[in-house]
Amino acid sequence: MKILVINPNTSQFVTDKVCQVAADAAGSGFEFVGVTGRSGSPIIGTRAECALASKEVMTIAAEHAEGCDGVLLAISFDSGLDVLREILDIPVVGISEAGMSAAMSVSRRFALLTFGDRAVPLYEELVEYYGWKLRCAGVISLPPLSQKELEDTRIVIPKLIDKIEESTQTIRAEAIVLTGAVFAGIAEELRDRVCLPIVDGVVAGVNQLKMLHALNLRKPTSGSLAFPPSKKLVGLPENLTKMFKAFGSKIDRK
Amino acid sequence: MKILVINPNTSQFVTDKVCQVAADAAGSGFEFVGVTGRSGSPIIGTRAECALASKEVMTIAAEHAEGCDGVLLAISFDSGLDVLREILDIPVVGISEAGMSAAMSVSRRFALLTFGDRAVPLYEELVEYYGWKLRCAGVISLPPLSQKELEDTRIVIPKLIDKIEESTQTIRAEAIVLTGAVFAGIAEELRDRVCLPIVDGVVAGVNQLKMLHALNLRKPTSGSLAFPPSKKLVGLPENLTKMFKAFGSKIDRK
Amino acid sequence: MKILVINPNTSQFVTDKVCQVAADAAGSGFEFVGVTGRSGSPIIGTRAECALASKEVMTIAAEHAEGCDGVLLAISFDSGLDVLREILDIPVVGISEAGMSAAMSVSRRFALLTFGDRAVPLYEELVEYYGWKLRCAGVISLPPLSQKELEDTRIVIPKLIDKIEESTQTIRAEAIVLTGAVFAGIAEELRDRVCLPIVDGVVAGVNQLKMLHALNLRKPTSGSLAFPPSKKLVGLPENLTKMFKAFGSKIDRK
Amino acid sequence: MKILVINPNTSQFVTDKVCQVAADAAGSGFEFVGVTGRSGSPIIGTRAECALASKEVMTIAAEHAEGCDGVLLAISFDSGLDVLREILDIPVVGISEAGMSAAMSVSRRFALLTFGDRAVPLYEELVEYYGWKLRCAGVISLPPLSQKELEDTRIVIPKLIDKIEESTQTIRAEAIVLTGAVFAGIAEELRDRVCLPIVDGVVAGVNQLKMLHALNLRKPTSGSLAFPPSKKLVGLPENLTKMFKAFGSKIDRK
Amino acid sequence: MKILVINPNTSQFVTDKVCQVAADAAGSGFEFVGVTGRSGSPIIGTRAECALASKEVMTIAAEHAEGCDGVLLAISFDSGLDVLREILDIPVVGISEAGMSAAMSVSRRFALLTFGDRAVPLYEELVEYYGWKLRCAGVISLPPLSQKELEDTRIVIPKLIDKIEESTQTIRAEAIVLTGAVFAGIAEELRDRVCLPIVDGVVAGVNQLKMLHALNLRKPTSGSLAFPPSKKLVGLPENLTKMFKAFGSKIDRK
Amino acid sequence: MKILVINPNTSQFVTDKVCQVAADAAGSGFEFVGVTGRSGSPIIGTRAECALASKEVMTIAAEHAEGCDGVLLAISFDSGLDVLREILDIPVVGISEAGMSAAMSVSRRFALLTFGDRAVPLYEELVEYYGWKLRCAGVISLPPLSQKELEDTRIVIPKLIDKIEESTQTIRAEAIVLTGAVFAGIAEELRDRVCLPIVDGVVAGVNQLKMLHALNLRKPTSGSLAFPPSKKLVGLPENLTKMFKAFGSKIDRK
């Protein structure tokens, strides 16, 4: 299976890391094609950057999704996730949705873990958008770290452990979802040093793709995730314009 | 006061209509500068088109907001509304948010009225995003009409009247919010022919701008609507890039 | 426009203050007629006092609303607000509803600020009655102050600033609604000394009246805010009795 | 035990009926003192009439509660219920709250049954005020009947049966709460002719008073139902003024 | 009236205590037949133990309910409560449901009080199952005590008092429901030493049974609490098998 | 991997069918060991039968889970699911939880589809227990069919198609989750004949097990799904008693 990894963060190292963790998690028979955003923010963290990401994600999908068997959306706010589900007819998963979904099958209340306060409301709104508020113990955050500190596990790991243990008391979290590609791969290192299950969204996402592939579900032709009606859009990248024009015939074909 | 009217629908006639209704509603002392989207859908109606609109809205704001005293966002899904509130320091209002807000001050349960089924879930999600679900009796929709029919009030008005009267029984609506610029101005014609108050989002929006101007509220420097941290964004229109670069100094200035 | 200001607190100085702030906010072309409650509590703060206020509000409206273009209800619990909307056919606004409504258009989560613990549950229930719980970060309260302290801004302002700044951390408030007429006018003084927008309910209320006037909405003849059926009530002030008797003919007239 | 029955409907026949049903339900050892409202509506059915009722209820309580062991509030909107709990230190129950509470102990979802559409939103708001929305299948209503029809059980009973049976299908009700004093005593007649339990609020209320008496709970001195602080109220009936003045010493006594 | 007290905790002293408190609360004319679980946990406190309890409760009911006028379920998680309501046609009450129900009639927000952290999520889920989350200020817990400490009121009472007083500040509780048979009878001792009403679930339960008896409600023949369809179950105690076989004829008889 | 399939329905043909569908879905490298309930109902459909199932599920787990790598719980009410997660330290999935989880990753609102009205409230409560109410369009049911009709796809399929298509209009469902083992395998046949994705819970469950295996999450030692404290249980099957006795040492080992 060929999986398109769309990373709207304009940072190649994030794409690389996600692709590597995804490939390790997927095992043989999988090819991951990573595409990094060409416009937008290096590390997305605000409403405006999320909005830019949604369009970038569409642009990348219009250019690269043809011939792929699924899409792994590698942005922790799942920006553009349901948009992709609307315009594509292959399975699409987001790393935070997948992570939370997995966490709900091993706990009654999960917490999301992030760096910095700025994004906390955005994650809360994401949880509300998914309708999962009753299952979310809260969004916990560590003070922001420099890129250098983030890469030094001797610094990061102890901070994470303390925060996670604390969350079992303060908000009674029963599982932790690590948000963001920066955390990809770190769950394994934490595994035996904290008292809760720690979910890696990339690993969860890859497996959710496998699940959707196994279920072999049809593209809906009714509801908000059916193809949009065919339309003549203007001022957009060529592939995107073409895609919107073609929706009508795609629906007919079904 | 100079108000920027951002219409991400790529249809000039929508911009014109909204500007005219807005100017009529505002009275003297107001100038409305309408800007029509250059990229995206002529009439926005799906998730994907909303996502495209959010970026278009940002692009227009980055180019035209300088020197304006407020922004009226003229897209019925309020696409990009909180994004603009994040990146600008002048009041920003959306026609649906303003319409629902007004409806809640004359009723206990409002209904949104639209054409076609496709957008119903999107409006429901908008209501949920605003946290106003308990006040919303539902989203009601008329079968889609052709542009020609839409413009013939002898056809549209009787259909609207029937649907509105019906909603007082089926979902016990107590007020109606007309969604979409296509409805701008039509509330007045319905006024004495139905039993409920009918809210025009454009008129509500203009007055909400006046309210915010009168309140003279400061731009927050904390929370999810403060300016984003200064960042180097890539691949974006020049004005947008410049805006993001400048956020840091703007915050300092405060 | 002639606006009736109904203050069911039996304290003339509150009426005076509200009328002054309202007049300053409204600008020219507005006349504010303040009427102070003749029965009930000097400063309303409990369930029982709110219930007394609701009737007092009706009594004042029955006597004074004739010939007015709108009502500004100057009691922070909005006591009797929807009752007035039921029995009158002019726009009616409450200072807390208007304040929260404005706060929601500049923030995702507002906090209400009050003095003393006793009224906190009442404000929470008010928020729930409006269905706005998801948008409310909480109700925060300062220890009660003496009337003398309340009037000394050198004492009050620093306490308010500390409490507001604290709320950005503890409950992640993004805007503050000052409750109570006692706060009327103080938002301006706080404006540049805290990091959040501070909403004055009286200023918001006056502008909401302007909005409703501009929208020119009809009195509903269906739903819970239509005129009640005509009835013969007993034991009430003359104007009130007359009002209820007249509802039937009013409905017919419509 | 001496129970004060407060009926703010200004209809003596309602008071009489409730007292009789209550006495039958209570058995020996109980005395029911019925007091009918002297000001307000003969049959309460709108927001305004409920607000009038709340004050009337307080006035009656201030005059008659002394020496009683409990209060049965005989108005189906439970108007003034929590107000009485605030200002009195004897158990107070409302017929709808008690009816719903009983219904929840024999079903997962109850429906409220009333006559006419006007009051439906008021009952829905009552359910929301109690926080019981998830347990309420809905509020169902029969077309209004004349007083003569209401008293002819050959007319009323078949209509009720049809409506109740229908509700098991349409909204999957599992129990029915009859609202209003007009229904007092009718549950027994329906008992074996419908498939669901039918709860009479008066019978439930009397038994809830017994329960509270048995629990021998103390008056809280903290929270929103503690006595209000002592205050000098103006323009009120003498007993009410005296009551508010005395709260301070009552609290000290505790 | 003969009341079956089912205690699925396999501890006879719990059954004895509950029966004694129940008898004291019920007064004359009541006989309480206590049956202690023969399989399961001595003091139930986890999901697994609750599940075991549900079956034990059914088994005991099948064997002992014949000839009884009601069932008092004496396990603080109300395990099997709605199951009994499904399979029996006499009133069934649970001590926590009854306790919370009573607490809601003397407060706006109750707290549940327990020992140890483990059961806190279970009580929260119970509150959610009843749909009463909006009325619950929270579940508070004291550190677990040894059986000896639990029986020494000089140790327990002061700890309870501190925790309860604290809860008026931290979560603004307005009433306390003591969970668990271990607390039976202790409410009386706390009564005059804390500022809130303290509800004893056993006393509440007995009185709720009286209420249901007085209401004389019919067994529903529709909905999720009607008798199940007659079925041939295997591998169960004889009485239970017989009960399921008989459901069909029971329904016909109605 | 060896997966224990626990079917508390006492019908061997259900176990066989689930095991077969599971094996087909899992591919090579998987062994499914099906165990059928020995006590309880042939086809579980009521509260009482679910309660019996929960204990049967525990009993089977205590006897057969040793040496397995995961558990697939094959009862559409997921009876005992979180109980197994508490007492086992291998991944456990339920077919309805897994089905809904998958449905939420291809739609915004799923519907559950069942036969007969009786179980509808139980499925609704299940959805509420998972906190997924906002994502559930409703539970739809077909009239009950005889076993013979159920097995004749020429009868069943057209009925299912009609019901599913109808649900896109009436409740705006965007995906369908088939409940119950009886539906196992039928999703494939419906795939190209309806307009929505149809989720088979067994296929979803098998893949969720794979996901949890890939995530390699630790057993929590905190929260409501940690092992219970070691206890001496009485009157239970030997393996179950032993399991509870051993929890203490298991916790220590971690």
* pLDDT recorded at residue A251: 58
The structural domain count of chain E equals 2
Q: Are B181 and B69 in contact (CB under 8 A)?
A: no
* Residues D122, D187 share a domain: yes
Q: What value does the mean pLDDT take over residues F226-251?
A: 89
Length of chain A: 254
Give, rounded to a whole angstrom, the gap between the first and last alpha carbons of chain F.
23
Give which of B16, B173, B203 is closest to B99, Cα–Cα: B203
CA atoms within 13 A on the CB side of A52: 29
* Residues C128, C92 share a domain: no
Give, rounded to a whole angstrom, the gap between the first and last alpha carbons of chain C.
23
Q: How far is CA D115 from each of CA A7, D132, D133, D180, rounded to the nearest angstrom?
A: 59, 21, 20, 9
Q: What residues of chain C have any CB closer than 8 angstroms to a CB in chain D?
A: 10, 37-42, 45-49, 51-52, 54-55, 58, 80, 82-83, 86-87, 118, 121-122, 125, 128-129, 223-225, 228-229, 231-236, 244
* pLDDT recorded at residue A141: 95
Q: Is the pLDDT of residue F91 over 80?
A: yes
Query: How many angstroms separate the CA atoms of D223 and C50, rounded?
Result: 16
Query: How many angstroms separate the CA atoms of C85 and B89, rounded?
Result: 35
Whole-number average pLDDT of chain D: 94
Chains C and D touch (3+ CB pairs under 8 A): yes
Q: What value does the mean pLDDT take over residues F87-113?
A: 98
List chains touching B (3+ CB pairs under 8 A).
Answer: A, C, D, F
* pLDDT recorded at residue C190: 95
Q: Give D-chain residues touching C241 at CB under 8 angstroms.
A: none
Check CB contact under 8 Å for C228 and D48: yes
* Residues C75, C6 share a domain: yes
Query: How many angstroms separate the CA atoms of A15 and A37, rounded?
Result: 9
Give which of E4, E5, E3, E8 is closest to E55, Cα–Cα: E8
Query: How many angstroms separate the CA atoms of A219 and F197, rounded?
Result: 7
Check CB contact under 8 Å for B46 and A86: yes
The pLDDT > 90 percentage for chain C reads 87
Q: Read off the pLDDT of residues D137-158 as tens digits, 9 standing for 90 and up.
A: 999 999 988 878 877 889 899 9
Q: Is the pLDDT of residue E252 over 70?
A: no
Q: Read off the pLDDT of residues D29-73 as tens digits, 9 standing for 90 and up.
A: 999 999 999 999 999 999 999 999 999 999 999 999 999 999 999
Give which of B75, B94, B80 is closest to B212, Cα–Cα: B94
* Residues B36, B20 share a domain: yes
Confidence of residue A88 (pLDDT cuts 50, 70, 90): very high
Reading chain B (254 residues) residue by residue, the pLDDT tens digits are: 999 999 999 999 999 999 999 999 999 999 999 999 999 999 999 999 999 999 999 999 999 999 999 999 999 999 999 999 999 999 999 999 999 999 999 999 999 999 999 999 999 999 999 999 999 999 999 998 887 887 788 989 999 999 999 999 999 999 999 998 778 779 999 999 999 999 999 999 999 999 999 999 999 999 999 999 988 899 999 999 999 999 977 755 44
Q: Read off the pLDDT of residues C17-69 as tens digits, 9 standing for 90 and up.
A: 999 999 999 999 999 999 999 999 999 999 999 999 999 999 999 999 999 99
* Residues E195, E224 share a domain: no
Angle of CA points B140, B145, B151, to nearest 5°: 110
Chains B and E touch (3+ CB pairs under 8 A): no
Check CB contact under 8 Å for B54 and A58: no
Q: Give E-chain residues touching C121 at CB under 8 angstroms.
A: 108-109, 172, 174
* pLDDT recorded at residue B89: 97
Check CB contact under 8 Å for B134 and D125: no
* Residues F131, F222 share a domain: no
ipTM attached to this prediction:
0.96
Q: How far is CA E236 from each of CA E231, F44, F212, rounded to the nearest angstrom?
A: 13, 14, 35
Check CB contact under 8 Å for B48 and A41: no
Check CB contact under 8 Å for B128 and F134: yes
* Residues F211, F180 share a domain: no
Check CB contact under 8 Å for D108 and F121: yes
Q: Is the pLDDT of residue C254 over 60?
A: no
* Residues C234, C176 share a domain: no
| Other residues' Cβ atoms within 10 Å of the Cβ of residue F171 | 15
Q: Are A174 and A110 in contact (CB under 8 A)?
A: yes
Q: Give F-chain residues touching A195 at CB under 8 angstroms.
A: 220-222, 226
Confidence of residue C251 (pLDDT cuts 50, 70, 90): low
Q: Read off the pLDDT of residues E174-218 as tens digits, 9 standing for 90 and up.
A: 999 999 877 877 999 999 999 999 999 999 999 999 999 999 999
Q: Read off the pLDDT of residues A193-207 as tens digits, 9 standing for 90 and up.
A: 999 999 999 999 999
Q: Give C-chain residues touching B176 at CB under 8 angstroms.
A: none
Q: Is the pLDDT of residue D251 over 80?
A: no
Query: How many angstroms separate the CA atoms of D39 and C236, rounded?
Result: 6
Q: Give B-chain residues touching C195 at CB under 8 angstroms.
A: 220-222, 226
Give which of A111, A218, A222 is closest to A169, Cα–Cα: A111
Three-state DSSP state, B68: coil
Query: How many angstroms separate the CA atoms of A173 and B37, rounded?
Result: 45
- What's the count of helices (H) and strands (E) in chain B, helices before strands? 10, 8
Q: Give D-chain residues touching F141 at CB under 8 angstroms.
A: none
Q: Read off the pLDDT of residues A230-254 as tens digits, 9 standing for 90 and up.
A: 888 999 999 999 999 999 777 554 4
Check CB contact under 8 Å for D134 and F120: no
Q: Are C75 and C5 in contact (CB under 8 A)?
A: no
List chains touching C (3+ CB pairs under 8 A).
Answer: A, B, D, E
* pLDDT recorded at residue C185: 79
Check CB contact under 8 Å for F48 and E228: yes
Q: Tell me the torsion sign for CA atoms D43, D46, D51, D52.
A: negative
Confidence of residue E150 (pLDDT cuts 50, 70, 90): confident
The pLDDT > 70 percentage for chain D reads 98
Q: What value does the mean pLDDT take over residues E163-183?
A: 93
Check CB contact under 8 Å for F108 and B120: no
| Other residues' Cβ atoms within 10 Å of the Cβ of residue C27 | 10
The chain E residue lying nearest A171, using CA atoms, is: E121
Which domain does D247 fall in, by range?
228-254
Q: Read off the pLDDT of residues B183-196 as tens digits, 9 standing for 90 and up.
A: 877 999 999 999 99
Classify residue F143 by burial, with Cβ atoms within 10 Å: 0-12, 13-18, 19+. Answer: exposed
The pLDDT > 70 percentage for chain E reads 98
* Residues B61, B91 share a domain: yes
Q: What value does the mean pLDDT take over residues A101-125?
A: 97
Residue C190 token pair: 């706080």
The chain B residue lying nearest C135, using CA atoms, is: B131
Q: Give B-chain residues touching F134 at CB under 8 angstroms.
A: 128
Confidence of residue F241 (pLDDT cuts 50, 70, 90): very high
Q: Is the pLDDT of residue C128 over 80?
A: yes
Beta-strand pair A175-178/A198-200: parallel
Q: Read off the pLDDT of residues B139-149 as tens digits, 9 standing for 90 and up.
A: 999 998 887 88
* Residues A140, A85 share a domain: no
Q: What value does the mean pLDDT take over residues E235-239?
A: 96
Q: Could you tell me which residues are beta bridge partners of residue A203?
A: none
Question: Which runs of consecutive H residues, i.e. helices, occur in chain D?
Answer: 12-26, 47-64, 81-87, 95-104, 120-129, 147-151, 153-170, 186-190, 201-215, 238-253
* Residues D180, D124 share a domain: yes
Q: Read off the pLDDT of residues D63-103 as tens digits, 9 standing for 90 and up.
A: 999 999 999 999 999 999 999 999 999 999 999 999 999 99
The widest CA-to-CA distance across chain F, in whole angstroms, is: 57
Confidence of residue E254 (pLDDT cuts 50, 70, 90): very low
Q: Are C240 and C62 in contact (CB under 8 A)?
A: yes
Confidence of residue C160 (pLDDT cuts 50, 70, 90): very high
Check CB contact under 8 Å for E172 and C125: no
pTM exceeding the 0.80 threshold for the entire prediction:
yes
The chain D residue lying nearest F125, using CA atoms, is: D108
Q: Is the pLDDT of residue D254 over 60?
A: no
Q: What value does the mean pLDDT take over residues F90-97?
A: 98
Three-state DSSP state, E56: helix
Q: Are E180 and E116 in contact (CB under 8 A)?
A: no
Q: What residues of chain F have any CB closer than 8 angstroms to a CB in chain D?
A: 117, 120-121, 125, 128
Q: Give A-chain residues touching B48 at CB under 8 angstroms.
A: 58, 83, 86-87, 228, 244
Whole-number average pLDDT of chain B: 94
Residue A162 token pair: 């303390």
Q: Tell me the torsion sign for CA atoms C227, C229, C230, C236.
A: negative
Chains F and C touch (3+ CB pairs under 8 A): no
Of C39, C121, C235, the CB nearest to D234: C39
Domain CATH number, residue B174: 3.40.50.12500
Q: Read off the pLDDT of residues D227-238 as tens digits, 9 standing for 90 and up.
A: 999 888 999 999
Of A25, A101, A168, the CB nearest to F222: A168
Query: How many angstroms separate the CA atoms of A8 and A64, rounded?
Result: 13
Of D199, D207, D224, the CB nearest to E174: D224
* pLDDT recorded at residue B150: 78
Whole-number average pLDDT of chain E: 94
* pLDDT recorded at residue C210: 98
* pLDDT recorded at residue C65: 98
Q: How far is CA E141 from each of CA A168, E145, F63, F179, F227, rounded to the nearest angstrom?
A: 15, 11, 35, 38, 20
Which of F211, F212, F219 has the most A C-beta neighbours within 10 Å, making it the best mutation to test the interface with A? F211
Q: Give E-chain residues touching A109 at CB under 8 angstroms.
A: 121
* Residues B243, B160 share a domain: no
